[in-house]
Structure 1
């Protein structure tokens, strides 16, 4: 979702994303995970001023979970490649490069 956030979001888009991230845990099936996310967004508020900032912030949140459950951390420099454009070695999953 962050990979498709606007490059330069309006104040309304930033406010809408903030609201979305605040209510997201209410619908997350894992209660301990939802609680952790709610706590994390208080300590580390989401960065909403650009696609790059939000993607990095969400990747950091994802890596907090990975660390907690013993999974390898995701290299956040590859967020857009993974979630927006698709891996370069897999043309079947590539999406059109658009803003």
Structure 2
């Protein structure tokens, strides 16, 4: 491991920090947090230099750009706010995936869980605020869990607690609330018209 030596050690450094773009969130380290910020608000500095490509003996391009799908610009993407599928998740896609996982897990949770199943579910839910990559999302969930602990007595109780908690977050974010009487239709059975069968 190498470190750079500051020749001006001990001297005050000029702040070169620029104002954050609207919607950009700082992580606990004080740096812009990709996983805490929506992709549409994440505007990394553009680079004017392009990486050089190297060719193997067989003529195959072995550069980093050849090992990933084409960029949206090269693929002719019209919507710059659309996140390419090969990119790491942003706060919105991570949130959708996490809520999908939690609601689906609740939909398949037993109606009469054993003490071990209840303990495992509580461990999962209490681990999220400790492990979730988006720090402010994790802190918010931790506060909500402390204020209103998860109800893991049954599948119905867990699904209702999770839906109410999700709706609290939706209200905070200005999103529409979900009709909690429809959790089984949404997360387990699908609509009665069979459109998901």
TM-score calculated relative to the size of structure 1: 0.87
Aligned to 2:116: 12
Q: Tell me what 1:45 maps to.
A: 149
Q: SS in structure 1 opposite 2:165?
A: helix
Q: Residue 26 of structure 1: CA displacement?
A: 3.0
Query: Which structure's CA Rg is the greater one?
Result: 2
In structure 2, the residue matched to 1:82 is: 186
The within-5 A match list for 1:51-62 is: 51-62=155-166
Structure 2 gaps, min length 5: 1-104
Shift of 1:29: 3.0
Q: In the alignment, what sits opposite 1:97?
A: none
Shift in Å, 1:53:
0.1
Q: Which residue of 1 aligns with 2:167?
A: 63
Distance 1:16 1:73 in 2: 28
Matched, 1:25 2:156: no
Number of equivalences = 93
| Structure 1 runs (4+) greater than 3 angstroms displaced | none
Change (3 A) 1:87 1:30: farther
Structure having the higher helix fraction is 1
Shift of 1:90: 4.6
State the TM-score, normalized to the length of structure 2: 0.45
Cα root mean square deviation, aligned: 1.3
Q: Could you report, residue by residue, the CA deviation over 1:50-80 in whole angstroms, capped at 9, with x for unpaired residues?
A: 0000000000110011000101110100011
